[in-house]
């Protein structure tokens, strides 16, 4: 092996190493590139496949690790792809960077609810309601979490709030669960008093009659 060949090899090696060093330093020191890739990812949402969108948003957070919206979009795409662990990690990062990301907190709460991690679910869902108030889904899953924990007063409160938010009895399951709690020993008075204060006294007569109809079924 000639000395010229060795020298050329060494030069190529150091040139490559320098290029890699420059590339990684360039990316970390120029978050502007992250915003460029994020914008490209948004622009191609209607005309690109999930893999191409994923590529843009991954590059966005590579260039700018603090780009909250890009992590949120990664969570959306991973969710569509069924890669739920990566979805949740993306939403966690989004929520860490932006404490007001109510949708990210809802996704985390829903995931924990599915895993029966009810305390974490309620914590995340409460944060979701704080930053994205008035969501039917948030109150519905908070109600179900309280229901599963046996905290029936809180469950009834959140079930009824979900009904009020929806504006219509769109979930028969809610009426069934309120009735089931009503039928539990020593819970009838609590349910009736709460319903009177929360529903009847606020003029929500149609909702009152609907719930009353369920409570009287098969007694």
pLDDT in tens, 149-172: 999 999 999 999 998 888 765 577
Name the band, by pLDDT with cuts 50, 70 and 90, for residue 33. confident
User: Is residue 111 scored above 60 in pLDDT?
Assistant: yes
Rounded distance, CA 57 to CA 43, Å?
A: 11
| pTM of this structure | 0.75
Rounded distance, CA 88 to CA 58, Å?
A: 15
Using alpha carbons, list the distances in angstroms from residue 35 to 40, 59, 63: 9, 10, 8
The CATH architecture to which 22-98 belongs is: Alpha Horseshoe (1.25)
Rounded distance, CA 39 to CA 58, Å?
A: 12
Q: Where are the domains of the chain?
A: 22-98, 118-219
Give the mean model confidence (pLDDT) for residues 63-92. 94
Name the band, by pLDDT with cuts 50, 70 and 90, for residue 137. very high
Listed in sequence order, the residues at least 6 apart from 50 whose beta carbon sits closer than 8 Å to its beta carbon are: 77, 80, 81
- Classify domain 118-219 at the CATH topology level: 1.25.40
For the segment 10-31, what is each residue's pLDDT rounded down to a tens digit? 435 544 554 455 455 554 557 7
């Amino acid at each position: 092996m000639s000395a010229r060949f060795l020298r050329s090899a060494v030069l190529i090696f150091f040139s490559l190493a320098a290029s890699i060093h420059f590339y990684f330093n360039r990316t970390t020191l120029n978050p502007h590139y992250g915003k460029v890739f994020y914008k490209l990812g948004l622009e191609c949402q209607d005309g690109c496949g999930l893999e191409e969108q994923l590529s843009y948003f991954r590059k966005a957070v590579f260039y700018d690790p603090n780009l909250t919206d890009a992590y949120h979009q990664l969570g959306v795409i991973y969710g569509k792809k069924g890669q739920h662990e990566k979805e949740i990690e993306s939403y966690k990062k989004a929520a860490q960077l932006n404490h007001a990301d109510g949708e990210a907190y809802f996704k985390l709460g829903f995931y924990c609810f599915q895993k029966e991690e009810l305390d974490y679910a309620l914590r995340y869902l409460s944060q979701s309601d704080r930053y994205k108030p008035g969501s039917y889904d948030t109150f519905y899953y908070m109600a179900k979490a309280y229901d599963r924990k046996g905290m029936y007063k809180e469950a009834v409160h959140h079930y009824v709030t979900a009904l009020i938010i929806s504006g219509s009895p769109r979930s028969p399951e809610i009426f069934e669960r309120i009735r089931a709690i009503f039928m539990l020993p020593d819970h009838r008075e609590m349910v009736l008093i709460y319903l009177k204060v929360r529903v009847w006294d606020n003029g929500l007569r149609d909702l009152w009659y609907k719930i009353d109809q369920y409570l009287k079924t098969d007694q």
